[in-house]
Amino acid sequence: MLLEVDKPPLRSRAPWYVRLMMVSFRTLLLTLLFALLGMAIGLLTGIIATLVIAGVHHVPPDMTNAYRHAAIPAAVVSGAGAFLWNTARAVKDAVSGR
């Protein structure tokens, strides 16, 4: 007596426009999250660097430099990197048929 293995039911594929909206939403959401994470890390390192530099030079710290020269460039770089990575991943998944 042979045991029959049931095949899993076939998933119905969503229409192309639904898949496109889901991939676009996921890409934009992850890009936003990584940009915010990059800005938070950039701001933290900018504040620490500003405090250290102000302490070395014995001047009051100017925290606007932490935003201008650390946080915003870090957010732009991490957001652009996340966008490129997620776009490449979406194209790879589309080509492979997943």
pLDDT in tens, 58-95: 999 988 888 899 999 999 999 999 999 999 998 898 88
CA torsion 78-79-84-90 (nearest 10°) is 120
pTM check: above 0.85? no
pLDDT in tens, 28-38: 999 999 999 99
Please name the helix (run of DSSP H) or strand (run of DSSP E) that holds residue 32, with its range, or none: helix 16-57
